[in-house]
Structure 1
Amino acid sequence: MAQELLVAEREREEATVEGLATQLGSYLDDSRIDQVRRAYYYAEQAHEGQMRRSGERYITHPLAVATILADMRLDHQSLMAAMLHDVIEDTSIPKEALSEQFGDSVADLVDGVSKLTQIEFRSRAEAQAENFQKMTLAMARDIRVIIVKLADRLHNMRTLGPMPYEKRQRIATETLDIYAPIANRLGMHRVCTELEDLGFASLYPMRAKYISKAVDKLRGSHREIIDEIRGRLEDKLQERGLPGLIMGREKHLNSIYNKMKFRHKSFHEIMDVYAFRIITDSEDDCYRILGAVHSLYKPLPGRFKDYIAMPKANGYQSLHTTLFGMHVNIEIQIRTEEMEQIANDGIAAHWMYKHEQSPVTAVNQKRVDRWVQGLMEMRERAVDSLEFIEHVKTDLFPDEVYVFTPKGKILELPSGATPVDFAYAIHTDIGNACVACRVNRNLGSLSQPLQSGQTVEIITAPNARPNPAWLSFVVTGKARSSIRHALKLQRRAESLALGKTLLKKSLHGFGRKLSELRDEQIGAVVRHNQVESFDDLLSEIGIGNRMAYLIARQLVAGDVITEPGPGDKETITDDGTGKHGAVTIRGTEGLLVRFANCCKPIPGDPVVGVMDSGHGLVIHSDTCPRLPESSEDRAQLTHLKWAKDITDEFSVELRVELERQRGVIAEVASAVAKADGNIERINVEEQNARLSVVSLVVHVNGRKHLARVMRRVRNIRAVTHISRVRS
């Protein structure tokens, strides 16, 4: 009896495979269907004895994934990969065996989809990120990897029920964070909306149930209005002799929930809009139908969007308009059959139209190639997989703005993108050299979000470098990863230069020069300090992680000294007091030399440097109260001197006491301007009936300039006292 049941089950499975084969017969030839069939039987044998948590045989999952891809009319290699996608991971069969049986293309697809279970990860987040990073590499070689992966995720989401609660929550969150936005980015709207709804229902089952019931109830009560609008639209198209299939458009649960949550709209506000889609024969008919529906109902101003002339970043094309009629708003989308197919299946539709050489799918393919290329650039620049996935997440925006280059080329950017994002979208070098921008021919702010239709021109300078502050307002993953990469290189170059300067200074105290040291001495010290190269050692000195003096002693003596000895501090003091031992600073050293906020030193002030571990050199005035007081600690300070030709401006805070008079603040500001000073901030700190105390932050280029500014302010009759605030 058991044997008979097993045979019956096998026959039922085979019938399902044959059902798939019948479906494939509509667009694949017999030899390719046979290859898909062979992949199925191979997978069935490989997964023999394995069961799903639901109690079904494991092979039902690969078969279901292949069926999802067959609905999209994907090629036979993708379907074979779907059948075999868990073989490498869940069985002992290696990739080489699949290559031998089914060819390299199918084996590479399977490998791209397989998870990285053989690597030990420090955290689940890292495992997720590494997995996605591997998938990105495979996508760069063959975009079908992500399509198979999305079909795999879709079937897993459909059958999530038997999983433990924690696992359901994790998979649903991952789906909403990564996989649904990727499906959207690839234009696969049908997959995206189902993933979103399944993820939402899994994370918030009660909310999904409540919204679903409310939608069903409302749909029933609105049936007459929907039928009447549809009838009027059909009559109008018939009257004009225009071909068009009119369909109702369903609103999805996750979309309704997000509009309620983030746009603060009520359920009835969202559902009082009636949505229709009109499918027609040609692009020309789309615009004719638009004219027809506008003659039937009044269009709402500002609600028309032409995505045919300017497609979305994922290749989506359609005309959108919102009309007002019968006391309700009516949303209408108008598109051709091919546009409908691409709207639903995105890049997957490429295989359906592949043999017809459709210009729409060719453009769509280029967009996807560009996006994947961008992913690869981000991957190369990211420090680790977690940073990479962070950049990718910021790049998966659903909304776009369309801006023009000065030559009229259209660029799609995420909503909220700034001129800096625009600069990096053109080329990484343009972004790195960006100093200013013109928006519609007027100078604009680099941090101002762009609006659709603006023309943006980027102004560059040869020696410009990215500003760390840009990271606070850029929104694209490419801009963020490029800025971080450039700052990392800049930080490395600066730490190397500063480390070399500090080491030379310390060696000078021993009467030696860096150029006199033998390679063997340097190699021994590098090995002892467990760094890869001498440059790495210099960089460690520059960022304050190692003491220049100790490295100098190791290099000179050839000993291995890890802690300073009793006489070490005196040697440093002797080295630092002579003029020849001081490090020259210009005030514009960059990321690793910064000025202390407590004492705000300016050129001309006696200054010293304090190494801040991991952050470089902090410059203090030598009278700053925050400096160490003991002679031993002060011996570790780096003695500095100012270069003679500094032209940059520095902030200084002044405290001005003055008699209260009408217009006296304006008089103070005028005095500062006459002394060529620039006011950054002015603030009245305290006042009574007779006196006021004003805090003034001004920009000067040195002590002489500061003295000139203070003299001008002091000459104002109402000023009783002026002093520089040191801390």
Structure 2
Amino acid sequence: MDSANTTADDLIALVRAYNPKTSTRALRAAYDYGRKMHEGQKRHSGEPYFTHPVAVAAILTEQQLDDATIITALLHDTVEDTRASYADIERLFSKEVAELVDGVTKLTNLQLNSTETKQAENFRKLFMAMSKDLRVILVKLADRLHNMRTIKAMRVEKQAKKARETMDIYAPLAGRMGMQWMREELEDLSFRVLNPEGRASIIRRFITLQRETGDVIQRITGDMRLELDKAGIQAEVFGRAKKPYSIWRKMQEKEQSFSRLSDIYGFRIITGSDEDCYRILGVIHGRWRAVPGRFKDYISQPKSNGYRSIHTTVSGRDGKRVEVQIRTRQMHDVAETGVAAHWSYRDGKRSQNPFAVDPAKWISQLSEQFNAEEDHEDFLEAVKLEMYADQVFCFTPKGEVVKLPRGATPIDFAYAIHTRIGNDCVGAKIDGMRVPLWTRVKNGQSIEIIRAQGQMPQTTWLDIATTGKAKSAIRRSLREADKQRFVKLGQELARSAFAQVGKKATDKVLRTAAKNMRLDGPQDLLARLGSSELLGREVVQSVYPDIAPKSGEQIAGDRAVVGLEPGQSFTRAACCTPLPGERIVGISSRGKGMSVHAIDCEKLSEYEDQPDRWTDLRWQEGNHPAVNGTVLDLTIGNGAGVLGRICTLIGEASANISDLEFLERKPDFYRILIYLDLRDVAHLHSLMSTLEAEGDVAAVSRYRKIDVHMPPR
């Protein structure tokens, strides 16, 4: 459906087709409200912006999702990009929808492709959002899918950034949630951006192959239907060529050329019962030769996201290998929509699919091990390993199933059962035979861990283990063993590092450094410093960051704000004094001027009923001069030389003091307002971090004059 021409009636019809009891009034209200809020906004392509939320909603109707999710899709950018607020959404629709929109907004603000530590922290936030309501990530995935489908309208460098983030994060996440179709499309859309020549070469080879061999898919599909008819089994047979990226990945993994690659075709057989699935397997293996080692029974051993199916690979016509998936209709619904099947409708009723996994249970299992991770990089590694993992199923001596990623070892198996068992491991038996700890486990094997009290993990285990859970537990154990030695060494290194810049490594300074580096506390920081996981200069910079002016030409004052009319002047509102880097909005006054406010300014509420005065603005990206005034509220000790040291710190941070105002004078402390000229919001945060670490500073915060009146009409 063309989202540019999709009306409210069109969307309602899509929902009513699978949910006759849908609230037509609520859907229409959401459509009208979203269109009104986004009125005047354009996409990079020049289309009205509201076509995007409508397209996202339409994608979610294909998964037959509930009304709340469809409404959230229509409103998912309103809080982020318009004057709509959480309170507005809750009042007009429901608390459920408001929380879902808020969750999507928070995910939108995460920079998942940033630095490792920041990325790991944002992954934690992503999983927290998912754990509250998994529908948040369903909307976000549909949002990303439509953005990738229309990515050509973006700048080339932005395309590459979005495509890499999609390939690294969203595609594997969709796959982990069981939405394999979405994973494949996201991967292929990203592949088109990141390696257009590689993708084009795969497509050209496909065309050549079809010209040489004819329609292989139609012939094999016909053969399978004929064999099933002979056996008296009712089933649907579908065939397709695999996506270009899937073929490219196989070529890279197997180091084979296209001509030598075999299983580039996939076939799916959908039938009525579990018994028919196994009967069909017998028919397929009776007609074609099965490829050894390529059989997987996910019906008896389902994946953790609820996926059930039989997979087998056989040699078809002309010796060509083809992959065959056999499943029931209910299994197919879960395979198509994954965890989303929990909210899906079928035949006009909320689905009670017995194979749909409970979302709360799924996300709890997925995030349980991550919450225990102390190290940001360990956490990130665990997340990525878990999302990309292709599983094998092993057994304990008591017959309990343990799921591990392909390539796992007995050490991974031991830690998967319990950290204590992993730490005590001295050896392993597979199917009753003693094996080295670096042995790769296979499907169906029974593993017994040999333990000894007093055993400790070895450093070499880090090279043997493959799961994030095992690696982080090994690192944690190794750290604990050497922690006290590292702490003492770290104390000396910290003292020396801070002395080099004329500072002292006081308890408060170390607490500030640990906080800024997202560590558990000074002891954790010192241990990492002593073990060379951190450098002394990194610790110093976390408290006293190098905030020298950025290189490059500075932005002129009249070009600082983007979105103004030609020749229109602007002023920074005195009530909130927004800084470059913060989200802003303009309020027009009687003349041509525009008053620029921070998006969270309390004064904006006075103009909610005058939308004609609002203008979407943003700061020009680049190097702003230190001429943007702001005010800090400081509480400092009343001692000799304290104020002088504070002023010196501010000067060292390349900030200019324009005025001082004393609010309170007490025998033991002063409370003062310091008027500063800064470059941007990053400059402000760096300066506040430096001041917080100073021993004589009891409190520091940004001061805003909320009593200042708005500009006249």
- Give me the TM-score of the superposition, normalised by structure 1: 0.63
Partner-residue secondary structure (3-state), 2:79: helix
CA contact (8 A) 1:394 1:476 kept: yes
Q: Which residue is equivalent to 2:352? A: 357
In 2, Cα distance between equivalents of 1:297 and 1:538: 60
Q: Which residue is equivalent to 2:129? A: 138
In 1, Cα distance between equivalents of 2:93 and 2:471: 41
Question: Of 147, 163, 188, which aligns to 1:197?
Answer: 188
Partner-residue secondary structure (3-state), 1:309: coil
In 1, Cα distance between equivalents of 2:460 and 2:95: 47
Q: Which residue is equivalent to 1:556? A: none
Q: Tell me by how many angstroms 1:251 deviates.
A: 1.1
Aligned length: 509
Partner-residue secondary structure (3-state), 2:234: coil
1:308 aligned to 2:321? no
In 1, Cα distance between equivalents of 2:233 and 2:113: 61
Q: Which residue is equivalent to 1:259? A: 250
Q: Which residue is equivalent to 2:363? A: 369
RMSD, matched Cα: 3.6
Instruction: Single out whichever of 407-416 and 331-340 deviates more from structure 2.
Output: 331-340
Cα 1:496–1:227, aligned 2, differ >3 Å: closer, same or farther?
A: closer
Q: Which residue is equivalent to 2:327? A: 335
Partner-residue secondary structure (3-state), 1:161: helix
Cα 1:108–1:12, aligned 2, differ >3 Å: closer, same or farther?
A: closer
Instruction: Give CA-to-partner distance per residue, 1:601-641, whole Å, 9 cap, x none.
Output: xxxxxxxxxxxxxxxxxxxxxxxxxxxxxxxxxxxxxxxxx
In 1, Cα distance between equivalents of 2:143 and 2:113: 26
Q: Which residue is equivalent to 1:43? A: 34
Question: Of 40, 57, 62, which aligns to 1:66?
Answer: 57
Instruction: Give CA-to-partner distance per residue, 1:38-73, whole Å, 9 cap, x none.
Output: 222222222222211000111111111111111001
In 2, Cα distance between equivalents of 1:299 and 1:171: 41
| Structure 1 letter corresponding to 2:409 | T
Q: Which residue is equivalent to 2:267? A: 276
Structure 2 unaligned regions, length at least 5: 492-503, 515-520, 532-713
Q: Tell me by how many angstroms 1:237 deviates.
A: 1.6
Question: Of 296, 315, 327, which aligns to 1:324?
Answer: 315
Q: Tell me by how many angstroms 1:465 deviates.
A: 4.1
1:378 aligned to 2:378? no
Q: Which residue is equivalent to 1:186? A: 177
Q: Which residue is equivalent to 1:438? A: 429
CA contact (8 A) 1:53 1:162 kept: yes
Cα 1:44–1:129, aligned 2, differ >3 Å: closer, same or farther?
A: farther
Q: Tell me by how many angstroms 1:297 deviates.
A: 2.8
CA contact (8 A) 2:507 2:522 kept: no
Q: Which residue is equivalent to 1:453? A: 444
Structure 1 unaligned regions, length at least 5: 1-10, 501-523, 546-727
Q: Which residue is equivalent to 1:157? A: 148
Question: Of 197, 204, 228, which aligns to 1:206?
Answer: 197
Instruction: Give CA-to-partner distance per residue, 1:77-109, whole Å, 9 cap, x none.
Output: 111221222222223433343333333322222
Cα 1:138–1:299, aligned 2, differ >3 Å: closer, same or farther?
A: same
CA contact (8 A) 1:313 1:367 kept: no
Q: Tell me by how many angstroms 1:481 deviates.
A: 3.0
In 2, Cα distance between equivalents of 1:468 and 1:121: 30
Cα 1:303–1:135, aligned 2, differ >3 Å: closer, same or farther?
A: closer
Partner-residue secondary structure (3-state), 2:429: strand
Q: Tell me by how many angstroms 1:331 deviates.
A: 3.3
CA contact (8 A) 1:286 1:319 kept: yes
Instruction: Single out whichever of 112-121 and 132-141 deviates more from structure 2.
Output: 112-121
Q: Which residue is equivalent to 1:683? A: none
Q: Tell me by how many angstroms 1:183 deviates.
A: 1.0
Q: Tell me by how many angstroms 1:191 deviates.
A: 0.2
In 1, Cα distance between equivalents of 2:145 and 2:271: 30
CA contact (8 A) 2:191 2:245 kept: yes
Cα 1:42–1:302, aligned 2, differ >3 Å: closer, same or farther?
A: same
In percent, how many aligned pairs have the same letter? 41
- Give me the TM-score of the superposition, normalised by structure 2: 0.64
Q: Which residue is equivalent to 2:391? A: 400
Cα 1:338–1:542, aligned 2, differ >3 Å: closer, same or farther?
A: closer
**1:212-231 correspondence to structure 2 within 5 Å:** 212-223=203-214, 225-231=216-222
In 2, Cα distance between equivalents of 1:125 and 1:51: 33
Q: Tell me by how many angstroms 1:138 deviates.
A: 0.7
Q: Which residue is equivalent to 2:612? A: none
CA contact (8 A) 1:250 1:275 kept: yes
Question: Of 66, 73, 78, which aligns to 2:69?
Answer: 78
Cα 1:464–1:333, aligned 2, differ >3 Å: closer, same or farther?
A: same
In 2, Cα distance between equivalents of 1:90 and 1:23: 26
| Structure 2 letter corresponding to 1:184 | G
Q: Tell me by how many angstroms 1:494 deviates.
A: 5.4
In 1, Cα distance between equivalents of 2:304 and 2:319: 31
1:106 aligned to 2:88? no
In 2, Cα distance between equivalents of 1:368 and 1:258: 28
Q: Tell me by how many angstroms 1:290 deviates.
A: 1.7
Q: Which residue is equivalent to 2:340? A: 348
CA contact (8 A) 1:33 1:76 kept: no
| Structure 2 letter corresponding to 1:350 | H
CA contact (8 A) 2:247 2:264 kept: no
CA contact (8 A) 2:112 2:165 kept: no
Instruction: Give CA-to-partner distance per residue, 1:498-545, whole Å, 9 cap, x none.
Output: 999xxxxxxxxxxxxxxxxxxxxxxx9965875589x95799599769
Instruction: Give CA-to-partner distance per residue, 1:470-517, whole Å, 9 cap, x none.
Output: 2223222222333334444444455569999xxxxxxxxxxxxxxxxx
**1:213-612 correspondence to structure 2 within 5 Å:** 213-223=204-214, 225-270=216-261, 274-329=265-320, 330-352=322-344, 355-362=350-357, 365=359, 368-374=362-368, 377-384=369-376, 387-492=378-483, 495=486, 536=522, 540=526
In 2, Cα distance between equivalents of 1:539 and 1:214: 55
In 2, Cα distance between equivalents of 1:184 and 1:201: 19
In 2, Cα distance between equivalents of 1:149 and 1:250: 28
Partner-residue secondary structure (3-state), 1:411: strand
Partner-residue secondary structure (3-state), 1:27: coil
